[in-house]
Structure 1
């Protein structure tokens, strides 16, 4: 990760996942429905990767992948994609359930 960032903020856009750097000096909370990926070196060619999910009332630890080696996007991407889809579906269900019945 570059200096001055706390991780990559992952956002679903038109069926794909887009990532942007989240600066350390900016907002400290992960926006609702988004995932913040951060990583730190964990030895020879290994990374410890952490994911936090932004919810309406809190930011929660979503996953930790210790000691990943090489291109770890294939390990992390399925979890991030499924969680963002699930969050979208739950938000839609909440909107529908909050509507008055006809």
Structure 2
């Protein structure tokens, strides 16, 4: 995905609710879409999606984490401690690269499974 970084709020259809402390990010036709997640939202991250979660710190900064959903659970991708201001431009490259990598791996896995079935 190319182009300038965008604010996370620009990827959603509705403004962030007061109780949101996460966003489930989904690749869509060359772009990204996000859905707000409350702190008590579901723990499962769907395969190929990235869950961004953030916690405000006592000094006015934000600690951000990214988890990638896989078929059998999710993995921690990255942690960005102590971010300030518009931090979506910091996390966007990781989210974009990981979702693209997951899509490529999914295609490769499907191709390998089909080849194995042909034998």
TM range (shorter): 0.7 to 0.9
The correspondence of residues 79-94 of structure 1 with structure 2, limited to 5 A, is 79-94=94-109
Partner of 2:88: 73
Partner of 2:33: 18
Aligned residues: 101
Partner of 1:95: 110
Ranges in structure 2 where 5+ consecutive residues have no aligned partner = 1-16
Higher strand content, 1 or 2: 1
TM-score by length of 1: 0.87
Q: CA RMSD in A?
A: 1.9
Q: Alpha-carbon deviations, 1:23-67, whole Å to 9, x = none?
A: 455532000010000111124441100111100111111110000
Given the alignment of the two structures, is residue 60 of structure 1 paired with residue 75 of structure 2, yes or no? yes
Paired residues of 1:51 and 1:61 also in contact (CA < 8 A): yes
Ranges in structure 1 where 5+ consecutive residues have no aligned partner = none
Distance in 2 (CA, whole Å) between partners of 1:76 and 1:8 is 12
Change (3 A) 1:24 1:49: closer
TM-score by length of 2: 0.76
